[in-house]
Amino acid sequence: MGKTNKLCPRCGRKMKQQFIGLQHCKCGMSWKRNIGFFERSSNIVFCLERHHVNGKPKQQPVVRCRELSDDVEQTT
């Protein structure tokens, strides 16, 4: 198994890479390089954010929470 392949702590399967430094498993677990293992929920969004380092554009994976809109009813 290579250096980039992680095993899911919940189900033991290999995680698939979505972006560099971000991997997912089918059971709902994810791993990000600076966060570690975490469970995905329906309001989490994964995207690439552009940064300029030494004049060169670089893309970095970012985990954000989607805000609920007013037309979606919340159940309490």
Residue 5 phi, psi dihedral angles, 5° rounding: -80, 125
Q: What is the pLDDT of residues 6-54, one digit of tens each?
A: 899 999 999 998 888 889 999 989 988 888 898 888 888 888 899 999 9
Q: Please check whether residue 44 lies inside any domain of the structure.
A: yes
Is 47 inside any structural domain? Answer: yes
Among 25-29, 53-57, 63-67, name the one with the lowest average pLDDT: 63-67
Question: 56 lies in a domain?
Answer: yes
User: 58 forms bridges with which residues in the sheet?
Assistant: 51
Sheet holding 29-32, edge to edge: 16-19, 22-24, 29-32, 36-39
Tell me the C-alpha distance between 15 and 6, whole Å.
6
Domain of residue 23, residue span: 16-65
